[in-house]
Each structure stands twice: as structure tokens, then as C-alpha cells.
Chains A and B, each alone.
Chain A
């Protein structure tokens, strides 16, 4: 089973590193839960996140799949469920 958390965090980190406030990036790497909106990602950044998760885990995601998940934990759970439902 791939490490979903690691892949999701890595995708968010890469998309957010140019645009996100430093404290949001620190929260992201600290391992705790936090609101994804704190990263301040724009729609193209979200597309980049989707692409990285899709390619790493061989799943199909839509924009609403991401935007419907308010927290990092919710997003990880969602992607894990998607993997499990294949």
C-alpha cells in the first residue's frame, strides 16, 4: 500500500512552495492536521496537486474532490478511500 499521506503532503508542498505563507508550509510538514485553504492555492495550483496525486497513485480525481475536502486529514482519507474502491 503506497504512503498516501506522504504523496498528498508532497503534492501540496510542491504546489504551495511558491505561493503559501511560511507558517502554512510549516504546518503542512509538521505532520498535524490543518485547513488546506491556509496554503492559498489557486485553481492551477490545485490542478498541479491533482496531477501529482493521480500520477503517483494511479487514481482519477476531480477538482471538487479536492475542494470538498477542507483539511489535510480529510483529503488523505478521501484519496485512501478512492484507492480502496478500485
Chain B
């Protein structure tokens, strides 16, 4: 359904994502048009879109980014405590001999705890939650209805837990749940898979010891605001350019891989936390050498994110 032009060149991606000559692309237009055409309730989806910096332009983008950065920094000590306290215990459980569901036992509960601490509300999102699926243009009507209902429930839960917050503050926390949940879950799970598929729990690639080897966010779209040459082709105003972030996975340089997190004014606000999480995971894995066999792994087919639908392990004594 997309007419976006894929961009793979690292310099062009830096130009597209790091400069103001390219504009963010709304994540709500498709939902609005479909909702209006089929008389579908997408009010929650449209409301929360106004809080997602990734989808906003100009002053609205800056303001939302500032507010969300403040929430993250205010709760940084609590999230750091989750990283230090929970990850060793959770990895220890995951690497006990036997069969394990990595998403259900480790990735989803850990991300729920981290995002929950960040927004100040205990989160119990399931593995198949639809709250982050705002960016999936491929999903049908039933899933859009469920997503709208899940977002409504989450908004109510945040308001009930933090009754002193106004609508903007609640919307910002909802946006954080959307942005944080699947991006981190996908990046974490796919990077863990790349370690475990070697048959060991210990990462041995120097770049992977430093940072994630895979990204859960394989691309970001931008609209051309002034005619430009990209990868040797002239691109007209209005063209949607799809920067393929997953091309950074091929680099052995951790600094290049960290471009997964974007550039300049659009750098991922969760970058610091995500890197703390990975560093702690690698530290703990390094001390828990066991043999592992990935028994099941498949990505979702209906998602814009790279997100495992199934990720199961068998752990043996090393």
C-alpha cells in the first residue's frame, strides 16, 4: 500500500533524518481516512497521534519532544534501578535448563517494567498488544478497533493511577507507551536472537558486546520538502523517502549501528535507557554461559516493526 522510495545509502539516510529539509509523516492520516470512510471509531488513535513526536512537525514536534524528554529524565533513576535489579534475575531464570518462551518470560515483562516505571503506571501489556501498531498500515479493521479500545483502556488506566495529570500529560504518557513498547521489544528480541542463534548465550562479536545488532524499527519515512538528489536520483517535493535503518545492522562499528536510534532533532529519546538495558544484558549473559538452541523464531507478518511473533529456546548445561 506504500509508494515510499527506499533509501539505503548511509550518508543520504543521515541527511534525510538529520536535517529540516525533510518532514515527518503523519501516522494518523490513514486511520482518519479509513475511520471516516467506514464509520469506524478511531478517536483514541487520532488523539494520541498528537503526542507522538515522530509524527509531528515544527513547534508541535519540539514541544512534544521536550515534554516527553522531561518525563523520561524525571523517572531515570527508577528505570535505572529496574535495569540493575531485574535484568540479572530475569536472565538467570531464562537461562535455566529447559524450554523457554523469550517474549513471554523475558522481553515483554522487562519492557513493561521499564516503560511502566517511565510513565509511572504499572503496565501489563500482553505479547500481542496492539497499542504500538499505530504505524502498521497493513492491519485490517478488527485490529484497528481493538487498537482503539486498548488505547482507551490504557488512557483510563493512566488517568486512574495518576489523577492529578491533565489531558496533555496523560496523552504524553500514552505516547511513551506506544513509542517505547514495540520499538524496544523488537530491538531487544531480534538482537538476543542474533546471539542465541550461535548456540551460545554469550555474545562474541565485539560490536554486539557494545550495542544492539538488530533494530526493531527497520525504517523511518520522511517527506521531501524541497527537490533533492538522493542516491543519484532527483526526488520531487512530496515524495516519501523510506530510510532503511536495518542497513546499519551490517556494520561492525557500534557507532554506526547506533544510528538505529536516528539523527539530530529526531534522535530516539529512549536511546540512553535502551543502551543501559543492552549493556546490562550483555554483562549478565557473559557470566551465565550456557548452550542454547533456538527452537522457534518468526517475525510478525503484519507489523511495521520487526517483532517476533514467536521466539522459543531450549537451554542446556554448557
User: For residues 43 through 59 of chain A, which have their beta carbon under 8 Å from a beta carbon of chain B?
Assistant: 43-44, 47-48, 50-51, 54, 59
Q: Are B37 and A60 in contact (CB under 8 A)?
A: no
Fill in one digit per residue for B291-318: 1 if any A CB lies within 8 Å of its CB, else 0: 0000000000110000000000000000
Chain B positions within 8 Å of A59 at CB level: 142
* Nearest neighbor of B38 in chain A, beta-carbon distance: A51
Of A22-30, A31-39, A62-70, which stretch is located at the interface? A62-70
Establish whether residues A44 and B142, one from each chain, have CB atoms under 8 Å apart when the complex forms. no
A50 to B141, CA, bound (A): 7
Partner of B138, one of A51, A54, A63: A63
- Nearest-neighbor residue (CB-CB) of A58 within chain B: B142
Count residues of chain A with CB under 8 A from any CB of chain B: 15
Binary interface encoding of chain B residues 135-154 relative to chain A, with 1 for a CB under 8 A from any of its CBs, else 0: 00111111100000000000
B162 close to chain A: CB less than 8 A? no
* Complexed CA–CA distance, A67 and B137 (Å): 13
Residues on the A chain within 8 Å of B142, using CB:
54, 59-61
> B137 touching A47 by the CB < 8 A rule?
no
Is A62 within 8 A of B37, CB to CB? no
Task: Decide: B301 and A64 in contact? CB cutoff 8 A.
Answer: yes
Q: Is the CB of B37 within 8 A of A64?
A: no
Say if the beta carbon of B89 comes within 8 Å of chain A.
no
Q: A61-B142, A63-B140, A64-B138 are in contact. Are A44 and B34 (CB under 8 A)?
A: yes
Contact call A60/B140, Cβ cutoff below 8 A:
yes
Contact at B138–A47, with CB atoms within 8 Å? no
Determine if A62 and B34 form an interchain contact, defined as CB atoms under 8 angstroms apart. Answer: no
Contacts A43-B1, A44-B33 given; does A62 touch B139 at CB 8 Å: yes
B34 engages A63 (CB within 8 Å): no
Chain B hits for A51, CB < 8 A = 38, 40, 140-141
The answer to whether B33 touches A62, judged by C-beta atoms less than 8 angstroms apart, is: no
B residues near A62, Cβ cutoff 8 Å: 138-140, 143, 301-302
B236 vs chain A, min Cβ distance (A): 22
Shortest A36–chain B CB gap in Å is 15
B211 to chain A, nearest CB (A): 32
Given A62-B302, A63-B1, A64-B302, the answer on whether A54 and B37 have CB atoms closer than 8 Å is no
Residues in chain A near residue B34, CB distance under 8 A? 44, 47
8 Å CB contact of A63 from B33, B38, B139? B139
A48→B1 contact, CB < 8 A: no
**Chain B proximity of A61: nearest CB distance (Å):** 5
Residues of B within 8 A of A63 (CB): 1, 137-140
- Top 6 A-B pairs ranked by shortest CB distance? A51-B141, A50-B140, A62-B302, A61-B140, A60-B142, A54-B142
Residues of A with Cβ closer than 8 Å to B? 43-44, 47-48, 50-51, 54, 59-65, 67
Known: A44-B34, A63-B1. 13 other contacts (CB 8 A): A43-B1, A44-B33, A47-B34, A47-B141, A51-B141, A54-B141, A61-B140, A62-B143, A62-B302, A63-B139, A64-B138, A64-B302, A65-B140
Q: List 23 A-B contacts (CB under 8 A).
A: A44-B33, A44-B34, A47-B34, A47-B37, A47-B38, A47-B140, A47-B141, A50-B140, A50-B141, A51-B40, A51-B140, A54-B140, A54-B142, A60-B140, A60-B143, A61-B140, A62-B140, A63-B138, A63-B139, A63-B140, A64-B301, A64-B302, A67-B1
